[in-house]
Amino acid sequence: MAKRKLISFDWAMKKLLRSKANFEILEGFLSELLKEDVRIQEILESESNRETARDKFNRVDLKVKNTTGDILIIEVQYDREFDYLQRIFYGTAKAVTEHIGRGEAYSEITKVISISILYFDLGQGTDYVYHGITSFRGLHNSDLLLLSGEQQALFGKDKVHELLPEYYLIKVNSFDDIAKDSLDEWIYFLKNEEIREEFSAKGLDKAKQELDIMKFSDEERRAYAAYQEDLHYQASMVESTWTAGMLKGKEEGFEQGREEGEAQGRREEKKAIAASLLESGLLDAEKIATMTGLTMEEVKGLQVE
């Protein structure tokens, strides 16, 4: 297995994925994997949701609910487990029983999707992403059992497997480092702990920014804390520019004016804070660009100013 660049990369990923402030990262990863627009509603508590860097033997386990009511279990596993398939089955079964109320009909059972990011070789196979579903095929005619019209109307689903648990296994070490699509960009990041400039998968920009911050020295972290504090003091600037955008919106269209005003305000706010950090001399232009989201050209322009 390749050497990990971050001592606590698994812990860092847990912090990234579990933070409500970073839903954009988790939503991006899930959207690329499931090939649909995923929106997280909440993080669900479970007995495996621990907070320390050494808990769960380097295993990240979190459970979330999306806006359609499905439950998704995401796990990052470094250590080899021969009974891993049985364990993820147990995890989905437990989630099903935990989230059905006493006396409720079976039709109220929640859809559960188990996603495993694996850094050990599980089973035999040449691929690096496997998808497991439950389907029923005829022993005599080999036809696939489908939902009836009444069932489709009741559940809002077309296929049997959409009602039952699904499993995704991502064998990170089997990936060949050639990113052929947006999901591969995420797997490249999970394997190499870096994000290439040309990558455009959902959530990766935010993940890069947050991980860069985690790598800061103590002095850089203090400067970043000061930057975060400055955000509150610069809020009036955003409000003023937003108001100007509102007035402009009355002439050119309310929504467009509001969006332009907010965008301009956020940009001016970031420039003001970047200028303050440059003046302090605690951080170089590259670090400031990472923290504020400005381009290097914009930050260097502030130096000239």
Whether 182 and 112 share a structural domain? yes
- More confident: 216 or 69: 69
Closest to 57 in 3D by CA, of 119, 130, 124, 139? 119
Q: How many domains does the chain have?
A: 2
- Alpha-carbon dihedral 179, 180, 185, 191, rounded to 10 degrees: -40
Looking at the fold, whether 93 and 14 belong to one and the same domain comes out as: yes
This prediction's pTM: 0.67
Asked if the structure places residue 213 within a domain, the reply is no
Judge if 159 and 20 occupy the same domain: yes
- Tell whether 4 is covered by a domain: no
Q: Is the pLDDT of residue 72 over 90?
A: yes
238 and 279 both lie in a single domain: yes
* Residue 210: Cβ within 10 Å count: 18
86 with 37, same domain? yes
* 171/260 same-domain check: no
Q: What is the pLDDT of residue 145?
A: 95
Segment (H or E) for 298: helix 296-304
Query: CB of 285 within 8 A of CB of 279?
Result: no
Range of the domain at 104: 9-207
What separation in angstroms does the CA of 90 have from each of 41, 83, 190? 24, 11, 25
Helix (H, G, I), strand (E, B) or coil at 234: coil
Q: What is the pLDDT of residue 1?
A: 42
The lowest-confidence range among 8-22, 63-77, 209-223, 246-260 is 246-260
Last residue of a domain, one of 160, 179, 207: 207
Last residue in a domain, options 164, 186, 207? 207
State pLDDT tens for residues 106-125.
888 999 999 999 988 898 89
CA–CA–CA angle 156, 160, 165 (5° rounding): 95
Length of the chain, please?
305
